Amino acid sequence: MKILELTFEEFRETLQAGYRKSGDDVGRVYRSLFQNKAPSRNSAIDSPAASELFRFVASILELNPGEIISVKTDGESTKFITRLQDGHEIESVVIPMATHHTICVSSQVGCRIGCRFCQTGQMGFHRNLTTEEIVGQVYAAKFKLGIEARNIVFMGMGEPLDNLDNVIQAVRVLNDQRGLDIALRHITISTVGKKAGIEKLAKLGMKGLRLSISLNAPNDRIRARIMPANRISSMKTLQTTLLQYPFAKKETVFITYVLIQKINDAYEHAMELAAYVKSIPVKMNVIPYNPRSSSPFLSPSEKEVRQFCDWLAECGVFIRRRRTKGQDMMAACGQLGKISQS
């Protein structure tokens, strides 16, 4: 039984159908596995019957999300590397906020999108992560590192919409109130903006789940240069798809814009960008470029970042300048991944 792949209802149905175990204690056991302790055959919880069921579940449990082989911190952010059962490695980052922690999780080993400014994009694509391997990153942070997350962002290695089935099942497990109980409004799926994936996500009707678009350019010419996926699906197609997305009242889509010196940081770029998002309910996150290994691109100065944000704000765009965290240990946005993986 792979507990990290199961919601409570799926856990209950599995115990009942496969092992003829049922009753009120099933809920206590599920919550205990996710909230109180890592499973152990010798563990006890709040009633003899529940303890007996807990030990039975521990005896049939498969818990193989991988092994943490490295933990690095810069005194603020924490990056941990997990070696999976097949030897591949993934990276996750814990980001401290004012009142809580956010965990940036990976959804794939590598990525087939190939964004030129992104470290993961230089790895190529190896495989999708399983639901267990995705949830396991949050589980490991809680039980191995002692860090409990309130926010989950799918902004690590990989394109989440290319692994949508496993990502959505992971969201369901993370969201389950009897388990980790992370609210949908605290979970964000980031994507380059594939039309089919966004439409499929919309049909699921998961109200509150946040959507973030990695845009990074004001027009197709620049976007195709730094994000090859744009050659397949244009910014106009993406704009139309977002206009049709069933946002709840007052809900917005996050637009992430990685600011790269002399590529997408000019005044005319800000004007094009403001016009592009004018009809979409957006919150714009501007992130100064974090250089990857052997990068041909340059980071903007702080003055250039402020100027670009000011131009957007003057056009009425809701703008948030994201502060860089973890850059010195290759844990910042766009820096995750080991290119030598095979």
Strand partners, 79: 72, 93
Which positions ≥6 away from 342 have C-beta within 8 Å? none
Phi, psi of 283 (to 5 degrees): -125, 125
> What are the φ/ψ torsions at residue 68 (nearest 5 degrees)?
-70, 120
Give CA angle at 213 (211, 215), nearest 5°. Answer: 170
333 among known catalytic residues: yes
Angle at 113 between CA 219 and CA 283, to 5 degrees: 50
Instruction: Give the containing element (helix H, strand E) for 254.
Output: strand 253-259
Per-residue tokens: 278 = 């004018």
Q: Where are the beta strands (DSSP E) in 116-178?
A: 125-128, 151-154
HSE-up of residue 181 (Cα within 13 Å, Cβ side): 11
List 104, 115, 118, 333, catalytic entry:
333
d(Cα 342, Cα 329) in Å, to the nearest integer?
A: 22
Which are the catalytic amino acids?
Answer: 333
